[in-house]
Amino acid sequence: MTIVDIAPKITVGIDTHRDTHVAAVLDHQGRLLATESFPTTSAGHRQLERWANSLGTIDIVGVEGTGAWGAGIARHLTGHGYRVVEVDRPNRQTRRKHGKSDTVDAEAAARSVQAGTATGTPKAGTGSIEAIRVLRVARTSAVKARTQAMNQLHSLVSTAPEALRDELRRLSRTDLVERCARFRRLRDLPDPTQATKMALRAIARRYQHLDAEITELDAVLEDLVTDTAPGLIARYGVGPDTAGQLLVTAGDNPDRLHSEAAFAHLCGVAPIPASSGRTDRHRLHRGGDRAANAALYRIAICRLRWDPATRAYAQRRTAQGLTKLEIIRCIKRYIAREIYTELRTLTT
């Protein structure tokens, strides 16, 4: 008889950073075989793959931060047919016992995969939903900057010299921006009135620029979201903004969510038992993606105000003794089920 050597299966854990990734390899019995550091470049990703394959046959890879520094290596490995699992950072108790270093974190990532505590599939990040995500990042930052600019305008008006303050304090937001944007650029800056006018002019024009940027992004996002998930947009109370957020939460591969209950947990709308003695109740879930939770909340409030079926449901549950918060929690859970059904159609 001839004994054929078969390459052992290995588990790879990767601790990700901006400039380097640290990888640790465990054999099928959990023994640490090796650790190594690689640059976060395309060549570095290939080097990591070749290095791991030299130690055995890659069974599964656990990657920390697949939505941040680990996005590139996760896409590389997934594209080459490896099973990639998203790993949460080690808990504080583990770090107190074993210390903190890149190699320790990489080994902990591999062990969490072998123990079955890390099972999440990372987002693919290769389709139209990833395009929606990056555009929403730009829009969110523009909205925050526009709000900040308006707050600064009001603050400067409230502290402006008396004559200028009386001129501007009664104006509406739109009129205030237009009026301040028309101020002339003057050179007598030691005068507080002229300096204040110049500051108001700069902030008002910044506000106008941001407003135009947001309008442009809204138009692009509306078309992109509608083309990506027309069935989702057709749902009652779901608009381009809420639909875009829910798509981003699910990712380009919503099939990674194995059930509608998993999607509900991801959005933080799964009911949490809070019973004791003769009291049988559930409470709100404070975990999950808070942006997705907020999107479901806006949909629920819209339906409570305008949808007859939802209003009738709320009246029936109120008669049963539920509070308004508990009713909204129930409605958000039902909406999550609807959204999950639509998301599943994107992969069929």
pLDDT digits 0-9 by tens, 177-206: 999 999 987 776 678 888 899 999 999 999
State if pTM tops 0.75.
yes
Say what the pLDDT of residue 309 is. 94
Q: What is the DSSP string of 183-243?
A: PPP-S-TTSHHHHHHHHHHHHHHHHHHHHHHHHHHHHHHHHHHHHH-HHHHTSTT--HHHH
Q: Lowest mean pLDDT: which of 30-34, 167-171, 173-177, 279-283?
A: 279-283
Higher local confidence (pLDDT), 13 or 118 = 13
What is the pLDDT confidence band of residue 254, given thresholds at 50, 70 and 90?
confident
- In whole angstroms, give the CA distance from residue 151 to residue 155: 6
Reported as type and span, the H/E element at residue 272 is strand 272-273
E-assigned strand segments in 69-163: 84-87
| Total length of the chain | 348
pLDDT of residue 6: 62
Mean pLDDT across the chain = 89
- Res 2 pLDDT > 90: no
Q: CA 90, CA 271: separation in Å to the nearest integer? A: 26
Rounded Cα gap, residues 302 and 296, in angstroms: 10
Closest CA to 89 of 37, 15, 12: 15
